[in-house]
Amino acid sequence: MDNRELGLWQTTVIGALGLLVFVGSWEALVRLGVIDPYFLPAPSDILRRMLQMATGPEAVLAHDIKMSATRVLTGFALSALVGVPLGLAMGMSHWVRAALNPVVSIIRPLPALSWIPLSMLWLGIDEQQKYAIVFMGSFASVLVYTTDATVRVDEILIIAARNLGASRLQTIRHVMLPAALPNILSGLKVVLAIAWTCVISAEMVGANSGLGFRIWTAKEWSDTGQVLVGMLSISLTVLILDILFRWIEHILLPWQRGATRS
């Protein structure tokens, strides 16, 4: 059966069953001794450890999630505020694109880890340093995705708007931006995941809170359960943010709601 014919509830049920089989098999393999729980604890043990970190004497999980999410969203928002307008300018102007492409080509290949020593020298290990790491790790990707989305706008739409008497500003507002926005938002969703990679790297090197710090600390104590709790917390937090992002996308792209439902 073609996957495209599956309804939303069918996809949800099949996905839930697949997850249940995976978790159940994992639990069984650990309980039967096939997998050493020191290296990979059973899902029930991970859940128990998560509850301890969330509600026990430690009660650090909520704070760590809050700190990491704040750092990610702040750095990501700054990169979007700068990168999207600049990407639109690069996409609409050959001159701007020719002038900035060499700079982007230099910055883009640099991983977030490469910015950590320099950011520490500039900003120390305060929160601003974490924001800077996320910003620098995300900015080039935001810029590239936005530029590509703008360049891909059908030129016929622009010509038609100008032939109908639209000014340059009206063309940008009513033609360029709406046409490029779906691809820009798709790119931003990818960059949001990149931002999490950046903040986890920053927290492992110079932080006293956050999920990256908690994972790295657990490694020092050989606490595999806490490492997996941190990893699972990242996945769940990203999933929640992705749902929120889709809600924002639903609001900003009303003309695509019918296509999404179908």
Write down the pTM of the prediction. 0.81
Residue 26 lies in a domain: no
Write the CB contacts of 180 (distance below 8 Å, at least 6 apart in sequence): 88, 91, 146, 149, 150, 152, 153
Residue 213 lies in a domain: yes
Residue 135 lies in a domain: yes
**Whether residue 15 has pLDDT greater than 70:** yes
CATH number assigned to the domain comprising residue 186: 1.10.3720.10
Q: Report how far residue 34's alpha carbon sits from residue 121's, in angstroms, rounded to the nearest whole number.
A: 48
Instruction: Specify the pLDDT at position 74.
Output: 94
Nearest to 176 by CA among 166, 186, 191, 188: 166
Q: Report how far residue 215's alpha carbon sits from residue 222's, in angstroms, rounded to the nearest whole number.
A: 10
Q: How many domains does the chain have?
A: 1
Residue 22 lies in a domain: no
Residue 173 lies in a domain: yes
User: Token pair of 12, please?
Assistant: 């949800």
Give the range of the structural domain holding residue 256, as residue numbers without chain letter: 40-261
Residue 158 lies in a domain: yes
Contact 204, 218 (CB under 8 A): no
pLDDT tens column, 182-241: 899 989 988 998 899 888 888 887 778 888 888 888 887 888 888 999 899 998 888 888
pLDDT tens column, 133-164: 999 989 999 999 999 999 888 888 888 888 88
**Whether residue 39 has pLDDT greater than 70:** yes
